[in-house]
Chains A and B, each alone.
Chain A
């Protein structure tokens, strides 16, 4: 059974593109300074950033919680957003419901969730339309860490 070592939560402001990416930046610094190896760090940053961006783009607010155990790193992203009606569809590359405005800012190419799936060892999505979405991502640490 994995032993929890660290748990920290961060608020994400929805629709605030100015601050977008700050939370994943903080998470990266924490994990880097804790000596998480380079390959896992790269995957974690991508998962955290895409998760954060989904909240920024679609929700009013959300939280990202980092849970580090002696075996893995978990990211829990909970938001109060519109929810995802068809999770299967949302996980397909290129599928996007982003507005033109979001695309103009360089987001919303339908790569967010697929990218998160690709870069994590386990990805679980729970969503209720009109209420919000919860994304749980797990990245396993190498046994030699």
Chain B
């Protein structure tokens, strides 16, 4: 596999080495050496906790700026359902859709259809799945990476169905290239994203295929512009190209779960990385027996709680529930389109998700055991204070780094007083 990429980057100029990111990282993937933070690539699951933790704004999502899209002849927005929960109670999804056109997209994709299609594909998959249960949703890229890194024995629980945003990208390229006589690569399929993790699933899909999407623009990035267009709008904004808030659209990414039709007895929607980890731990031991499908989102509150959204989770949730309550029933046209596409398209995941080697280079079992024993020995010399001054988040991480040849034991201030003077050179005012 080629070099691992991530959905964010650390600007070394802006990083002042204050270790907020290192302490916030649930995967213990960040080290701060010589006053600068860096990521141990194979440990990072792209959860984005570091982005919000950095006080100097040195860590940013690798989303794209709107201006970068000029090289495409036709730009299509695929808006995460979370976008619609970011505005006022009176702002309708149709207005948001029109604002997307006003800021320069050539079309807004009717994403509700793709979401209904994937809902059906997932429910069919759950029904005919021979096991092992439970199946685990894969639309959150962080969850897929968490399983790769921490639960390799559970990879076969990941549901082998494409995410709806991918299906949207595939279909919109097909349709517009036909309608407008353009090459698919001249059409930009752009996801309006609530988190940086979607960018990594576009840049480097875990299943090692190529994404149908061309990039992601952060909700944060275009929020102000959308808002100003909406405030200038007169009337309610006619629905552009039929962008209905119908079907299952608004259930997606919402904390109440994406599958209101599934029985809660066998279906568990989970949000928040720590809660997901607790449940996956239990599944791994065979402790959870009656659940068929587990919908997992790394962000607390699901996608509407994503780190590139603007509104706080609880306001967004209230807006989402308001939209759901006022959602029109899907019309016959909508149903017909879902039927037509369901019969003609394949929704199974291209490629497969493999465990990620976290040892860096491939070494044999004997050497791996040797490293573990060395790390255990080294740990005895460390203070177990987890002060972080060595540049690793915990003493245990430091011992492991030393055993793996990634760090010097003497980076610990308890073992070499001289270390304080070294640190002073990086952190002097």
The residues in B between 105 and 142 inclusive whose CB is less than 8 angstroms from any CB of A are none
Determine whether A131 belongs to the interface, using a CB cutoff of 8 Å to chain B. Answer: no
Determine whether A1 belongs to the interface, using a CB cutoff of 8 Å to chain B. Answer: no
Bound-state Cα–Cα, A1 to B286, Å:
33
Bound-state Cα–Cα, A59 to B273, Å:
35
Chain A residues with CB below 8 A from B287, complex form: 21, 49, 106
Determine whether A56 belongs to the interface, using a CB cutoff of 8 Å to chain B. Answer: no
Determine whether B368 belongs to the interface, using a CB cutoff of 8 Å to chain A. Answer: yes
Which residue of A21, A38, A70 is within 8 Å of B153 (Cβ)?
A38
Bound-state Cα–Cα, A30 to B358, Å:
13
Bound-state Cα–Cα, A41 to B285, Å:
11
Q: A21-B285, A45-B285 are in contact. Are A34 and B368 (CB under 8 A)?
A: yes
Bound-state Cα–Cα, A46 to B155, Å:
16
Closest B-chain residue to A49, C-beta based?
B285
B150, B286, B358, B368 interface centre (most CB from chain A within 10 Å): B286
Q: A6-B372, A34-B368, A70-B366 are in contact. Are A42 and B154 (CB under 8 A)?
A: yes
Which residue of B150, B154, B359 is within 8 Å of A35 (Cβ)?
B359
The residues in B between 122 and 177 inclusive whose CB is less than 8 angstroms from any CB of A are 150, 152-155
Q: A5-B365, A145-B365 are in contact. Are A33 and B372 (CB under 8 A)?
A: yes
User: Cβ of A38 and Cβ of B281 under 8 Å apart?
Assistant: no
Chain B interface residue bracket vs A: 20 to 34
The residues in B between 281 and 337 inclusive whose CB is less than 8 angstroms from any CB of A are 281-282, 284-287, 289
The residues in B between 355 and 401 inclusive whose CB is less than 8 angstroms from any CB of A are 355, 357-359, 365-366, 368-369, 372-373
Chain B residues with CB below 8 A from A24, complex form: 285
Bound-state Cα–Cα, A41 to B287, Å:
16
User: Cβ of A35 and Cβ of B368 under 8 Å apart?
Assistant: yes
User: Cβ of B286 and Cβ of A34 under 8 Å apart?
Assistant: no
Bound-state Cα–Cα, A21 to B152, Å:
19
Determine whether A130 belongs to the interface, using a CB cutoff of 8 Å to chain B. Answer: no
User: Cβ of A46 and Cβ of B285 under 8 Å apart?
Assistant: yes
Chain B residues with CB below 8 A from A32, complex form: 150, 152-153
User: Cβ of B358 and Cβ of A42 under 8 Å apart?
Assistant: no
Determine whether A12 belongs to the interface, using a CB cutoff of 8 Å to chain B. Answer: no
Closest B-chain residue to A42, C-beta based?
B153
Q: Can you name 15 extra interface pairs (CB under 8 A) apart from A21-B281, A45-B153, A115-B286?
A: A5-B369, A6-B373, A34-B368, A34-B369, A34-B372, A35-B365, A35-B368, A37-B152, A42-B284, A45-B284, A46-B285, A46-B286, A49-B286, A106-B287, A145-B365
8 residue pairs bridging A and B, Cβ less than 8 Å apart: A5-B365, A5-B369, A6-B372, A21-B281, A34-B369, A35-B365, A37-B355, A49-B286
A residues in contact (CB < 8 Å) with B: 5-6, 21, 24-25, 28, 30, 32-35, 37-39, 41-42, 45-46, 49-50, 68, 70, 106, 115, 141, 145
